[in-house]
Amino acid sequence: PIRLTAALLPHLRKQPNAAILTVSSGLAFVPLVATPTYSATKAAIHSWSQSLRTQLADTGIDVIEIAPPAVATDLMPGHAENPNSMPLDAYIAET
């Protein structure tokens, strides 16, 4: 995401309005012991998104970070059946 954004920024700066969307995770804030590298990369994307948003504040480029909650999918074992996971259709509608 960082390299792609850097490559696209000259084009985005020429637009009257543009948006950069990043996807972090709740694990950026509360890491999961079983996935330390994933949690760390999501924390890095969160921090970078905040910095980029500030850097681009005076341009027509919005920086939007999406931090999905636990979503009821089969991506992680047990999430699909977990009553605390957000139903996929509700997450899609909200996002």
What is the set of active-site residues?
Answer: 38
SS (H, E, C) the chain: CHHHHHHHHHHHHCCCCEEEEEECCHHHCCCCCCCHHHHHHHHHHHHHHHHHHHHCCCCCEEEEEECCCCEECCCCCCCCCCCCCEEHHHHHHHC
